[in-house]
Amino acid sequence: MEGDVGYGELAVSLVLVAVALGISIQMRLRLERELVVSVVRGLAQLLVVGAALALVIDPDTPLAWSWAWVAGIVVFAAATVRRRAPAVPQLFWIALVANGATAIVGFLVAFGLGIFPVQGRTLVPIAGMIVGNSMKSCIVAADRLVETLSEQRAEVEARLALGQPSGRASRPIVRSVLRTGLSPQIENTKALGIVFLPGAMTGLILAGVDPVDAVLVQLALMYLILGAVATTTVVTALGAVRRLFTPDHRLVALSRSTRDAG
Amino acid sequence: MPPAPLFSFESVSVGPADARRLDGLDGELPANGLTVVAGPSGSGKSTLLRLCNRLDVPSEGIVRHRGVDVAERDPLELRREVAMVFQRPVTFAGTVRDNLHEADAELDEDACAALLERAGLPPSFLSRDAGELSGGEAQRACLARALATRPRVMLMDEPTSALDAEAAAVLERLGRQLVADGTPVVWVTHSREQMRRLADHVVLLAAGRVERAGPACEVLADGG
């Protein structure tokens, strides 16, 4: 097949969706509608993205369009984080800074050190991969921070009552959140090649690229993602914790279902 | 001229208009002795106490500490001056010594031992894992930790409600001892018996307001 998937082959791969539909009907999961919507929506989104990407990464298209795309990814990621972890006030801006900082650090390494050339075909996919992962760690960090502060409110207030400033009173919790946020990516990096073959490498190999070249690209990306996740988790945890205390060092009321205008 | 009250509350409300925890409360806590704040569940006892060290702030009204609006005080300084022991003993990870050092990192071994002694624990407890203490021991370790900031007032929020009778009696004795040593104590309880045993002054709350207040002998003689 040499990596060429036509519309016919794509239709054949839908057999597996039919299997999922069959399971849903058989087990009365009532997920049929959601399954069909997700498949159709994913198909439509990716076809549109594919067509737009083809335009943007065309060597004749100005690079500014690729940068605009990257900015769009960062803003969309921040909006997603805010929607998923609404208890943190102003989380949109924290996530924007975290994802933006992560993308900048990633680009500095990827392009500044000459690992990849600065082109539309590298810029957009790398931003997608970095910001996609950092968005996930942003959500985990914010969500875990609210959950732990809420669960351990008594300990935090016991520390505040000793006259500790909010930064110090929340430090053990922030440390625990950082460990929780970073651990999955560290474990992923450890299991690389043993448990799973990551997406970029699999895609390159399927497209006919030499496996060793594919491995080198994947390794560079994995290290970028590890750095991205670390940066995002730290920026999110430190940014969010400041907004969960008042200026006079009181822990705000925390309800994980709180809807906040970020 | 009599000394300024320890705390005074002027038209203090806490919470949203449709769910007030305190509702236009006026009152005073006297400068000396052990003041018991009592009342049924939900009457606002703990909220009143938390206003004193600014773990809560009023939605309306003014809280004064010795005549000074607490909103004008540095909250961290105020909290070290107005210490608090909570309902459930909350120890931090590590030894009892580590817990004391969370309040004051400069404490030497003798100072740590002296603090434990004031809280009725032997110096050997300094090396004990704080997470492995019994309820009564943990609450006394928390009292020692609160004393480590050299407070001038001690707030105690139902400190015996999670303890057995024997441990509760020890803590009551320690509360009285603090007063004898010159540190005024504000003690929240829902137990009438405890109030009768401990109080020099009584403030009775109901539905977020002061129902009755005064010297214990007067209020209790009145059937309070």
Which residues from chain B sit within 8 angstroms of residue A172, using beta carbons? 92-93
Complex-level ipTM: 0.94
Tell me, yes or no, whether A160 lies in a domain.
yes
For residue A184, the number of C-alpha atoms closer than 13 Å in the C-beta half-sphere is: 12
Same domain, A69 and A144: yes
Tell me, yes or no, whether A192 lies in a domain.
yes
Same domain, A5 and A79: no
Same domain, A133 and A153: yes
Q: How far is the alpha carbon of B86 from chain A, nearest alpha carbon, in Å?
A: 8
Q: Flag whether residue A165 sits within 8 Å of chain B, measured between CB atoms.
A: yes
Domain count, chain A: 2
H-helix or E-strand spanning residue B220: helix B216-221
Same domain, A44 and A157: no
Residue B16's domain comprises 7-221
Give pLDDT tens digits for A123-182.
Answer: 888 898 889 888 888 888 899 999 999 999 999 999 999 999 999 999 999 999 999 888
Which residues from chain A sit within 8 angstroms of residue B146, using beta carbons? 161-162
**Domain of B91: which CATH number?**
3.40.50.300
Q: How far is the alpha carbon of A159 from chain B, nearest alpha carbon, in Å?
A: 8
Q: Flag whether residue A173 sits within 8 Å of chain B, measured between CB atoms.
A: no
Q: Which residues of chain A have pLDDT under 50?
A: 1-2, 257-262
Domain count, chain B: 1
- Closest residue in A to B148 (Cα) is A162
Q: Flag whether residue A160 sits within 8 Å of chain B, measured between CB atoms.
A: yes
A12, A28, A56: which is the final residue of a domain? A56
Mapped onto helix, strand or coil, the DSSP state of residue B28 is strand
**Domain of A160: which CATH number?**
1.20.1640
Tell me, yes or no, whether A70 lies in a domain.
yes
Which phi and psi (to 5°) does residue A138 adopt? -60, -45
Of the candidates B56, B88, B103, which has its C-beta nearest A162's C-beta? B103
Q: Flag whether residue A171 sits within 8 Å of chain B, measured between CB atoms.
A: no
Tell me, yes or no, whether B2 lies in a domain.
no
Asked whether the beta carbons of A168 and A156 are under 8 A apart, the reply is no
β strands within chain B, DSSP E: 7-14, 22-29, 34-38, 60-65, 68-69, 82-85, 153-157, 185-189, 201-206, 209-215
The contact set of B with A (CB < 8 A) is 53-57, 75-77, 79-80, 83-84, 86, 88, 90, 92-93, 102-103, 142, 145-146, 148-149
Tell me, yes or no, whether A6 lies in a domain.
yes
pLDDT along chain B (224 residues), means of 10: 89 91 94 95 94 96 96 96 96 97 96 95 96 95 96 96 89 94 95 93 94 92 69
Same domain, A108 and A193: yes
- With a CB cutoff of 8 Å and minimum separation 6, the contacts of A148 are A173, A176, A177
Which residues from chain A sit within 8 angstroms of residue B142, using beta carbons? 158
Same domain, A1 and A76: no
Which residues from chain A sit within 8 angstroms of residue B76, using beta carbons? 163-165, 249
For residue B38, what pLDDT is reported?
95
Inter-chain residue contact B75 with A248, CB threshold 8 Å? yes
For residue A240, what pLDDT is reported?
92
User: Residue B186: which of B170, B205, B167 has the closest Cα?
Assistant: B205
Inter-chain residue contact B102 with A162, CB threshold 8 Å? yes
For residue A208, what pLDDT is reported?
84
Tell me, yes or no, whether B124 lies in a domain.
yes
Asked whether the beta carbons of B145 and B95 are under 8 A apart, the reply is no
Which residues from chain B sit within 8 angstroms of residue A160, using beta carbons? 55, 79
Q: How far apart are CA A81 and CA A67, in angstroms?
A: 21
Tell me, yes or no, whether A81 lies in a domain.
yes
Tell me, yes or no, whether A257 lies in a domain.
no
Tell me, yes or no, whether A173 lies in a domain.
yes
Q: How far apart are CA A34 and CA A23, in angstroms?
A: 13
Inter-chain residue contact A159 with B92, CB threshold 8 Å? yes
Of the candidates B54, B86, B146, which has its C-beta nearest A248's C-beta? B54
Q: How far apart are CA B8 and CA B26, in angstroms?
A: 8
Q: How far is the alpha carbon of B222 from chain A, nearest alpha carbon, in Å?
A: 36
Q: How far is the alpha carbon of B16 from chain A, nearest alpha carbon, in Å?
A: 13
- Closest residue in B to A250 (Cα) is B55
Of the candidates B75, B77, B79, which has its C-beta nearest A162's C-beta? B79
Same domain, A134 and A235: yes
Q: How far is the alpha carbon of B55 from chain A, nearest alpha carbon, in Å?
A: 6
Tell me, yes or no, whether A133 lies in a domain.
yes
Of the candidates A161, A248, A249, which has its C-beta nearest B84's C-beta? A161
Q: Quote the percentage of chain B above a pLDDT of 70.
A: 98
This model's pTM is above 0.90:
no
- With a CB cutoff of 8 Å and minimum separation 6, the contacts of A237 are A141, A142, A145, A174, A177, A178, A181
Same domain, A47 and A75: no
Same domain, A199 and A128: yes
For residue B56, what pLDDT is reported?
95
Residue A40's domain comprises 1-56
Q: Flag whether residue A18 sits within 8 Å of chain B, measured between CB atoms.
A: no
Would the CA dihedral through A166, A171, A172, A173 be positive or negative?
A: positive
